[in-house]
Amino acid sequence: MAAVDDEYGARPKVKEVPEEEGRAISEKTEEEKRALAEISSELDQYLDIPLTVSTELGRTKTTVRELLKYNAGTVIPLNKLVGEPMEIFINGMLTARGEVVVVNERFGIRVTDVIDPMDLIRQQS
């Protein structure tokens, strides 16, 4: 490959790598590929584990007396504000937050914030 001068007449500098070093670089790449393939196959056994993903619209506290007054049409005020991020739980553990969306006439959650995995680990200990 011939060197081409740039607009200022300078030739780009290309670092030449000794053949042995070039071979070592490609061997590392192959070694890394094998390691990634091994990790991928090990992770594959975990990919089909079922998880329960849930979110909560809001909460409120009430008394039995108030609860017994509920009937069709009763509106129960909740603690969440309109537009406030919803919490997303995986197997009961808070893992993310998001906003409510409608997809094909069904509710969904668009993830806007994912909880730092280290914070999740700290929660468990």
Indicate which CATH number applies to the domain containing 81: 2.30.330.10
C-alpha distance across the termini of the chain, in Å:
59
Identify whether residues 60 and 90 lie together within a single domain.
yes
Please state the domain count of the chain: 2
Residue-range definition of the domain harbouring residue 105 = 53-124
Q: What are the phi and psi torsion angles at 21 (to 5°)?
A: -65, -40
Q: What is the DSSP letter of 93?
A: E
Same domain, 35 and 95: no
Q: Write the pLDDT tens digit of every residue in 14-72.
A: 555 556 555 555 566 788 888 888 888 778 888 889 999 999 888 999 999 999 999 99
Residues 58, 109, single domain; the answer is yes
| 28, 79: one domain | no
pTM of the model: 0.57
Give CA separation, 104 vs 55, 88, 108, in Å. 19, 20, 10
Q: pLDDT tens across 63-119, in order?
A: 999 999 999 999 999 998 888 999 999 998 899 999 999 989 898 999 999 998 887
Query: Is 93 within a domain?
Result: yes
Q: Does 19 map to a domain?
A: yes
| Whether residue 83 sits in one domain with residue 35 | no
Phi-psi category of 114—alpha, beta or left, where left has phi over 0 and alpha has psi -120 to 50?
beta
